[in-house]
Amino acid sequence: DETNLSGSINSFNWSEIENAFYNSTPYLNYSLISLDQLFSNITDLKDYKFTFDCKLYKRKNNVNFQEKYINSLVNVINKHDLKNNVYIESQDTSFLNKLKERDSDYKLFIYPSSFDEGFQTALDLDLYGITISTKHISQKQIEKAHSNNLKIAIWNIHSNNKNAEGVKKGPDFIQTDNVRHLVDLIKK
């Protein structure tokens, strides 16, 4: 474990983890904070976009957990008026459906293992887009998604070369480990 607690994070309530801290490098000087605390401390919050990678591991009472998770997520988004600044991605289609039922304006992304699976799911569920490893999508597939009004976010970008390859593919979003290089590349 990377914190002073043990077990799965989703088995705790906030009151049980709010005093947790990281105990491994490079995060030794960091404590856990809530999303609400983070948003409350960012000036010009509406100038930023946020992606929530919602990993809902299968568990007992998953329906109850999903409802609590959704309620908490929606409450913090609404409290900070960030619906237009938030992208929510998940592999769990029931979770995405429940969010869509709650508000069809959420920008929801399916996180599939293959483009074909993601493309069909995004169309069937009328989602905003697809988040996928750059290894599993081509420029042609991105063009196909765009022609169907789907946004594409790619990840698994760990180097300057991967940044350049990612930009050439033409996605809407690139999740990279080398942000500074990507920004410089896009400015050119």
- For the chain, give the percent of residues with pLDDT over 70: 97
Structure confidence by residue, pLDDT tens digits, 58-84: 665 577 888 888 999 999 999 999 999
Structure confidence by residue, pLDDT tens digits, 161-170: 999 999 999 9
- For the chain, give the percent of residues with pLDDT over 90: 69
Sequence-ordered strand ranges (E) for 67-110: 86-90, 107-110
Whole-model pTM: value is 0.88
Residue with the two structure tokens 């039922």? 101
Q: CA-to-CA distance for 108 and 88, rounded, in angstroms?
A: 5
For residue 121, what pLDDT band results from cuts at 50, 70 and 90?
A: very high
**Amino acid letter, residue 93:** T
Q: CA-to-CA distance for 100 and 114, rounded, in angstroms?
A: 22
Between residues 188 and 110, which one has the greater pLDDT? Answer: 110
pLDDT of residue 57: 72
Decide: 87 and 153 in contact? Cβ < 8 Å.
yes
Decide: 87 and 50 in contact? Cβ < 8 Å.
yes
pLDDT of residue 19: 84
Between residues 9 and 52, which one has the greater pLDDT? Answer: 52
Q: How far is CA 134 from CA 111, 137, 152, 160, 170, in A?
A: 12, 6, 10, 14, 11
Decide: 163 and 178 in contact? Cβ < 8 Å.
yes
Decide: 86 and 106 in contact? Cβ < 8 Å.
yes
pLDDT of residue 64: 82
Decide: 111 and 96 in contact? Cβ < 8 Å.
no
Tell me: cis bond preceding 112? Omega within 30 of 0 counts: no
| Distance from the Cα of residue 151 to its chain's centroid | 13
Q: How far is CA 149 from CA 113, 119, 142, in A?
A: 20, 11, 11
Between residues 19 and 93, which one has the greater pLDDT? Answer: 93
Average pLDDT taken over every residue of the chain: 91
